[in-house]
C-alpha cells in the first residue's frame, strides 16, 4: 500500500470510500462498505475474495458499468461519474477494456470480423475505406500477437475455449485502453489453458498495460504484482 | 344417386347406404386431415423460417423476452441462452441498449431484475438496461416496448427469444405498432420440449391473430 501512494503523480486509478447496496426483495444487501484503493500506472492488481464478497461489483464500479451509492472512482484524478452519462460512456469506451469469464463472440462472424466490427462501429464511419483498412490491420495485429495468426478466419465454433478467450482479449485491447479490467478471465478454462491466458496478460503487462483482475483463485492471483482481498465489504492487503 | 346405390346393393339397402355414407365421410375426413397437415407444415415452415433466419441489421435496442428465473436469482436455462445471444449482438455493437421484459411475482421473483444483473455481470452498463416488469406475456412485452421506444427515442429494436417464439413475437410487435423489428434466436440445446413448444406456439399464434387487441384501446401509432 505504501508504494501505491508514494508518488501520487503515477497513480492512475483511485477510489474514495465506495459503497454499494443492492435491494433484493425486501432486503438490503450492503456489499461494498467503504472500499479504498489506488493503482499505479502499469501495475497489475489482483482482487481476491470469496464468492459473493463483491469482487465483480467493485470491478463494475471501476469500469463505470454501474454507479456507487457513495464515494467516487477517480481516473487520472478525475471523477469518472462527474460529467454525466456522456462522460462515463466515453470513459468506458476509450479508457477501459473488459474481459469476462464468458466470451460472447458473435458465432456468425470469424475471429477477425469479431474484432473488426467492434472497432468499425466505434469509429462511426462504416463505409470509410481508410478507417476500415486501419481497423482491420490493427485487429489482425492484435490477433497475431495473441497467437491466433492461423485462426483469423475461423468461426468461434471452430475455436477452443482458450482461443475464444484470446479473441475476446484482442477485442478488449484493440482500442489500446489505458486500463484492462478482467473478471475471472480464466474461470471457464482448465488450469493449463488458464495459464496460457495469464501468459498473455503477463506479456501485455510487460509492455506497460495496467490491469485489475478479479479472481477467487489464489494461484491465478499470484501472477499479479499485488493482491488485495475483499472481505466484509472492504479491501485488505494480502 | 340413391336409386343406383339401392339397385346395385341387392336388398340390404339401409346398411349399404350407411356404408357409402361412412365411405364418403371417411374421404372428407381424409381430405380434412390432409389439408390440416398441409396447413400445419406451412405454418411450422414459416415459424422455422422466421425463427432461424436472423435479421442482424443494427438496432437501437434489443428486447429480450423473459423466462424462468431460479430461486437464487440466476436465469434459468432458457433465459440464460437468450441472454447469451443478447450479449453476442451487444458485444458486436449491433445494439446499444436493452429492454428486458418479463414477469414479477411477489417481492422475490423478478425476471427483469435477474436479466439486468446477468447483463451487467457480462459488461453491459446498468444505465443502458431498461426493465419492463409488466411483460408477463408476449403481447404485453410488445405494448410496453412501444411505450418505452417512444419515451426513450428508440427507433429500432431487435427481438431476442427462442426460435419457435420469434414469429408470434413479431406478430405481437406489429400489432403494437412496431414494424421492421430485427430478430435473433437463442442457441437452445436440443431437447424434446421443443416439440411441445412448437405445438403451443402454433395455437397461441392464431389466438394473437384473431383476438382483436386493438379493440382494447391501448394501441395507437
Ligand atoms: N444486481 C444485483 N442485485 C442484487 N444483488 C446483487 C446484484 N449483483 C450482485 N448482487 C449480490 O451482491 C453480492 C456480491 O456480488 P458479486 O457478484 O459482486 O460477488 P463476487 O465476489 O463477484 O462473487 P463471485 O465470486 O461468485 O463472482 C452477492 O451476494 C450477489 O448475490
Ligand atoms: Mg464475480
Categorize the per-residue pLDDT at A120 as very low, low, confident or very high, splitting at 50, 70 and 90.
confident
To which residue does cell 475474495 refer? A49
Q: For strand A11-24 and strand B95-101, is the pairing parallel, antiparallel, or unpaired?
A: unpaired
Categorize the per-residue pLDDT at B217 as very low, low, confident or very high, splitting at 50, 70 and 90.
very low
Categorize the per-residue pLDDT at A158 as very low, low, confident or very high, splitting at 50, 70 and 90.
very high
Taking residues B62-81, report their average pLDDT: 96
To the nearest whole percent, how much of chain A has pLDDT over 70? Answer: 92
**What Cα–Cα distance (Å) separates residue A102 from each residue in A189, B3, B91, B200, B201?**
10, 79, 12, 33, 31
Residue A127 has pLDDT above 90, yes or no: no
Q: How big is the CA angle at A25 (ends A60 and B113), to the nearest 5 degrees? A: 45
Give the pLDDT score at A33. 97
B177 to chain A, closest Cα gap in Å: 28
Taking residues A153-178, report their average pLDDT: 96
Dihedral pair phi/psi, residue A91, rounded to 5°: -55, -50
As given in the structure block, the three cell numbers for residue A131 are 478507417
Higher pLDDT, A5 or A164: A164
Q: For strand B182-185 and strand B157-161, is the pairing parallel, antiparallel, or unpaired?
A: parallel
Mean pLDDT of chain A: 92
As given in the structure block, the three cell numbers for residue B65 are 423476452
Categorize the per-residue pLDDT at A130 as very low, low, confident or very high, splitting at 50, 70 and 90.
confident
Higher pLDDT, A119 or A155: A155
CB of A57 closer than 6 A to ligand 1? yes
Give the pLDDT score at A121. 61
**What Cα–Cα distance (Å) separates residue A86 from each residue in A72, A73, A173, A176, B128?**
17, 16, 21, 20, 12
As given in the structure block, the three cell numbers for residue B102 are 418479463
Give the pLDDT score at A237. 83
ipTM, interface predicted TM-score of the complex = 0.91
Contact between B126 and B136 (Cβ < 8 Å): no
Give the pLDDT score at A133. 85
pTM of the model: 0.90
CB of A51 closer than 6 A to ligand 1? yes
* Ranges A6-10, A71-75, A109-113: which has the least confidence: A6-10
Neighbours of A179 (CB within 10 A): 20
Task: Indicate yes or no: CB of B93 within 8 angstroms of CB of A122.
Answer: yes
Residues in the 5 Å CB sphere of ion ligand 2 = A 56
**What Cα–Cα distance (Å) separates residue A212 from each residue in A4, A179, B120, B122, B166?**
14, 8, 18, 16, 40
Higher pLDDT, A145 or B12: A145
Residue B221 has pLDDT above 80, yes or no: no
Residue A73 has pLDDT above 90, yes or no: yes
Give the pLDDT score at A27. 83
DSSP characters over B167-199: HHHHHHHHHTT--S-EEEE--PPP-THHHHHHH
Give the pLDDT score at B2. 47
Give the burial class of A27: count Cβ atoms within 10 A of its Cβ; 0-12 exposed, 13-18 middle, 19 or more buried.
Answer: exposed
HSE-up of residue A84 (Cα within 13 Å, Cβ side):
1
Residues A61/A114/B92/B117 CA torsion (nearest 10 deg): -40
Return d(Cα A45, Cα A238) in angstroms, integer: 11
Categorize the per-residue pLDDT at B214 as very low, low, confident or very high, splitting at 50, 70 and 90.
low
Give the pLDDT score at B212. 61
Compute, in angstroms, the gap from residue A68 CA to the centroid of ligand 1: 14
Categorize the per-residue pLDDT at A146 as very low, low, confident or very high, splitting at 50, 70 and 90.
very high
Ligand 1 atom showing the smallest separation from residue A214 Cα: 22
Return d(Cα B176, Cα B182) in angstroms, integer: 15
Taking residues B162-185, report their average pLDDT: 96
Task: Indicate yes or no: CB of A118 within 8 angstroms of CB of B93.
Answer: yes
Categorize the per-residue pLDDT at A85 as very low, low, confident or very high, splitting at 50, 70 and 90.
confident
Ligand 1 atom showing the smallest separation from residue A58 Cα: 18
Closest residue in chain B to residue A58, using alpha carbons only: B121
Tens digits of per-residue pLDDT, A180-213?
Answer: 999 999 999 999 999 999 999 999 999 999 999 9
B55 to chain A, closest Cα gap in Å: 12
Residue B111 has pLDDT above 50, yes or no: yes
Task: Indicate yes or no: CB of A118 within 8 angstroms of CB of B92.
Answer: yes
Give the pLDDT score at B216. 55
Give A152's contacts (C-beta < 8 A, 6+ positions apart). A110, A111, A112, A140, A143
* Ranges A124-133, A145-154, A198-207, A214-223: which has the least confidence: A124-133
Contact between A73 and A95 (Cβ < 8 Å): no
B196 to chain A, closest Cα gap in Å: 27
Residues of A in contact with B54 (CB under 8 A): 108
CB of A53 closer than 6 A to ligand 1? yes
Tens digits of per-residue pLDDT, B14-44?
Answer: 677 777 888 999 999 999 999 999 999 999 9
Give the pLDDT score at B213. 63
Contact between B146 and B53 (Cβ < 8 Å): no
Closest residue in chain A to residue B109, using alpha carbons only: A25
Residues of A in contact with B108 (CB under 8 A): 24-25
Neighbours of B165 (CB within 10 A): 28
Task: Indicate yes or no: CB of B123 within 8 angstroms of CB of A65.
Answer: yes
**What residue owns the CA closest to ligand 1's atom 10?**
A22
Taking residues B164-191, report their average pLDDT: 96
Neighbours of A216 (CB within 10 A): 16
Compute, in angstroms, the gap from residue A217 CA to the centroid of ligand 2: 12
Domain parsing of chain B, residue ranges: 54-215
| CATH H-level, domain B54-215: superfamily | HUPs (3.40.50.620)
Tens digits of per-residue pLDDT, A42-52?
Answer: 999 999 999 99
Return d(Cα B124, Cα B110) in angstroms, integer: 19
CA dihedral for B197, B202, B205, B206, sign (positive or negative): negative
As given in the structure block, the three cell numbers for residue A212 are 485489475
Mean pLDDT of chain B: 90
Taking residues A210-234, report their average pLDDT: 96
Residue B170 has pLDDT above 50, yes or no: yes
Task: Indicate yes or no: CB of A65 within 8 angstroms of CB of B120.
Answer: yes
Amino acid at each position: 500500500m505504501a508504494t501505491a501512494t508514494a508518488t501520487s503523480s503515477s497513480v492512475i486509478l483511485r477510489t474514495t470510500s465506495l459503497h454499494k447496496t443492492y435491494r433484493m426483495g425486501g432486503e438490503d444487501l450492503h456489499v461494498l462498505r467503504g472500499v479504498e484503493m489506488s493503482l499505479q500506472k502499469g501495475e497489475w492488481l489482483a482482487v481476491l475474495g470469496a464468492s459473493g464478497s463483491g469482487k465483480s461489483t467493485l470491478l463494475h464500479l471501476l469500469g463505470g458499468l454501474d454507479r456507487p451509492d457513495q464515494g467516487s472512482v477517480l481516473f487520472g484524478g478525475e471523477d469518472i461519474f462527474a460529467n454525466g452519462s456522456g462522460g462515463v460512456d466515453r470513459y468506458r469506451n476509450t479508457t477501459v477494456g473488459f474481459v469476462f469469464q464468458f466470451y460472447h463472440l458473435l458465432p456468425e462472424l470469424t475471429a477477425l470480423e469479431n474484432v473488426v466490427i467492434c472497432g468499425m462501429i466505434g469509429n462511426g464511419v462504416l463505409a470509410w475505406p481508410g478507417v476500415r483498412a486501419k481497423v482491420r490491420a490493427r485487429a489482425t495485429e492484435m490477433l497475431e500477437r495473441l497467437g491466433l495468426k492461423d485462426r483469423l478466419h475461423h468461426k468461434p465454433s471452430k475455436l477452443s475455449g482458450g482461443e475464444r478467450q484470446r479473441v475476446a482479449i484482442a477485442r478488449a485491447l484493440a482500442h489500446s485502453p489505458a486500463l484492462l479490467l478482467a473478471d475471472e478471465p480464466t474461470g471457464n478454462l482448465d488450469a493449463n489453458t488458464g495459464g496460457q491466458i495469464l501468459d498473455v496478460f503477463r506479456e501485455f503487462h510487460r509492455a506497460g498495460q495496467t490491469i485489475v483482475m478479479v479472481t477467487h483463485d489464489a494461484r491465478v492471483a499470484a501472477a499479479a504484482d499485488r493482491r488485495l482481498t475483499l472481505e466484509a465489504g472492504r479491501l485488505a492487503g494480502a | 344417386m340413391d336409386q343406383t346405390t339401392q339397385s346395385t346393393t341387392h336388398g340390404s339397402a339401409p346398411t349399404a347406404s350407411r356404408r357409402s355414407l361412412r365411405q364418403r365421410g371417411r374421404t372428407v375426413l381424409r381430405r380434412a386431415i390432409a389439408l390440416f397437415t398441409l396447413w400445419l407444415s406451412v405454418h411450422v415452415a414459416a415459424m422455422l423460417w422466421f425463427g432461424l433466419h436472423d435479421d442482424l441489421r443494427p438496432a437501437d435496442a434489443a428486447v429480450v423476452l423473459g423466462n424462468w428465473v431460479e430461486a437464487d436469482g440466476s436465469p434459468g436455462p432458457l433465459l440464460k441462452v437468450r441472454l447469451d445471444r443478447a450479449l453476442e449482438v451487444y458485444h458486436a455493437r449491433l445494439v446499444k441498449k436493452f429492454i428486458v421484459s418479463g414477469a414479477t411475482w411477489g417481492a422475490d421473483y423478478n425476471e427483469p431484475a435477474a436479466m439486468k444483473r446477468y447483463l451487467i455481470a457480462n459488461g453491459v452498463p446498468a444505465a443502458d438496461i431498461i426493465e419492463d416488469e409488466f411483460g408477463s406475456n408476449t403481447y404485453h412485452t410488445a405494448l410496453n416496448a412501444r411505450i418505452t421506444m417512444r419515451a426513450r427515442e428508440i427507433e429500432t429494436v431487435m427481438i431476442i427469444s427462442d426460435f419457435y417464439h420469434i414469429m408470434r413475437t413479431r406478430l405481437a410487435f406489429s400489432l403494437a405498432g412496431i414494424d421492421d423489428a430485427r430478430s435473433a434466436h437463442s442457441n437452445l440445446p436440443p431437447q424434446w420440449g421443443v416439440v411441445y413448444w412448437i405445438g403451443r406456439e402454433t395455437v397461441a399464434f392464431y389466438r394473437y391473430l384473431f383476438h382483436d387487441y386493438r379493440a382494447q384501446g391501448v394501441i395507437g401509432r
